[in-house]
Amino acid sequence: MATAIVGWAHTPFARHETESLESLIVTVARGALEHAGIGAAEVDEIVLGHFNAGFSEQDFTASLVLQADDAFRFTPATRVENACATGSAAIHQGIRAIEAGKARIVLVVGAEHMTGVPAPDVGRNLLRASYLREEGGIEAGFAGVFGQIAGAYFQKYGDQSDALARIAAKNHRNGASNPLAQMRKDLGYEFCRRESEKNPVVAGPLKRTDCSLVSDGAAALVLADVETALRLRRAVLFRGTAHVQDFLPLARRDILKMEGCARAWNAALSAAGIGLSDLSFVETHDCFTIAELMEYEAMGLTPEGRGVQAIEEGWTEIGGRLPVNASGGLKAKGHPIGATGVSMHVLSAMQLCGEMPAPIQVRDAALGGVFNMGGTAVANYASVLERIR
């Protein structure tokens, strides 16, 4: 690989009632350039990750990044979309431009403003990341899709409610120390485990604490070729990346195997020349707690059906064998669709540069893994990151 992250910016994820999609984009675009020590005129290409699907009336958004600086005028800018993996799709497009020799410096922005539409519209918009012809009638929207997946997993491997509650509690405990997280509250295992008025069942066996948060926010990265990166303030290398796309209809695959996720992890680790045990930490896509549980198995941390072992024995805690979602994950941090993949890479770069708050800084972090998923393991992106400056 010949591309490195040289700067970044990240808004807090929250309900940003006084912000717009445009203002969020402009804020992080300016912040990332300043962090990298790069001027707008030095950027060769801009890539925006923005899902939309009805969240924004403005649906031609690539050029909104140009609002950040007049020097961006006439710079190529493209919007990309790949469901909840939209942010990683934007990063991959930036990497390709650099490695094809078409760009030296690329600005990647991921953004979404989700809270400006009524709650029923949120569910309808998110369900557009499923195969509507067969799955559009599922109650509770995308939560209903993962509720069905959780039910099928429970039927095959037994009731995993304890494991899901432990995952939720871990991520909320981590998120409490992350100033960028939407929910900064340690809810505790007992609250996450017990159904209550404040933690009702949402779909299948999933409760509110099993579901990621509807959120507004943006994140940005400045990418550069390695030669350029080594002359700048910092450089976090993409040691390996992979993108695996699977069938959209659930009926065409065994979703409990998450084969696209497994293939993406295997390919990224192989490209990096390492094994899973070499990673210092992982940021993974916990849109629902059942997803994180199944991703333990897909990444090879445990055998199929034994993801529970990783959470019960503390492997994925900070200080454990492989810390997972030290940031709090989507579960606590929030999940503004287009921003999520970029956010995961920003937070991983911060870990590698020792810039996370002390309670959630992984000690001696040398190699970080990122997994970002679009739909129900349809779009699967994995990255291995290493600091080289």
91 in a structural domain: yes
322 in a structural domain: yes
* 221 lies in the same domain as 262: no
- Whole-angstrom CA distances from 70 to 30, 46, 51, 66, 79 are 11, 14, 25, 7, 19
- Residue-wise pLDDT for 309-353, tens only, equals 999 999 999 999 999 999 999 999 999 999 999 999 999 999 999
* 250 lies in the same domain as 377: yes
Last residue of a domain, one of 176, 206, 229: 229
* 307 lies in the same domain as 261: yes
* 113 lies in the same domain as 247: no
For the chain, how many structural domains are there in total?
Answer: 2
- Residue-wise pLDDT for 56-102, tens only, equals 999 999 999 999 999 999 999 999 999 999 999 999 999 999 999 99
189 in a structural domain: no
* 265 lies in the same domain as 377: yes
* 251 lies in the same domain as 224: no
Measured between alpha carbons, how far is 58 from 77 in angstroms, rounded to an integer?
Answer: 16
Q: pTM for the whole thing?
A: 0.98
Tally Cβ neighbours within 10 Å of residue 268. 26
* 219 lies in the same domain as 318: no
Last residue of a domain, one of 179, 201, 229: 229
**What is the domain extent for residue 346?**
237-387
356 in a structural domain: yes
- Residue-wise pLDDT for 233-270, tens only, equals 999 999 999 999 999 999 999 999 999 999 999 999 99
- Work out the end-to-end distance of the chain between its first and last CA atoms, rounded to an integer number of angstroms: 15
Q: Is 200 exposed, middle or buried (0-12, 13-18, 19+ CB in 10 A)?
A: exposed
* 357 lies in the same domain as 256: yes
Last residue of a domain, one of 171, 198, 229: 229
306 in a structural domain: yes
305 in a structural domain: yes
Q: Using 50, 70 and 90 to split pLDDT, how confident is the model at 140?
A: confident
* 20 lies in the same domain as 63: yes
pLDDT, mean over the chain: 97
How many H-runs (helices) and E-runs (strands) does the chain carry? 13, 11
Domain CATH for 66: 3.40.47.10
96 in a structural domain: yes
pLDDT of the residue at 155: 98
Q: Using 50, 70 and 90 to split pLDDT, how confident is the model at 376?
A: very high
126 in a structural domain: no
- Residue-wise pLDDT for 199-223, tens only, equals 999 999 999 999 999 999 999 999 9
> For residue 86, which phi and psi values (nearest 5 degrees)?
-55, -40
* 290 lies in the same domain as 372: yes
* 302 lies in the same domain as 224: no
Positions annotated as catalytic residues are 84, 335
* 221 lies in the same domain as 342: no
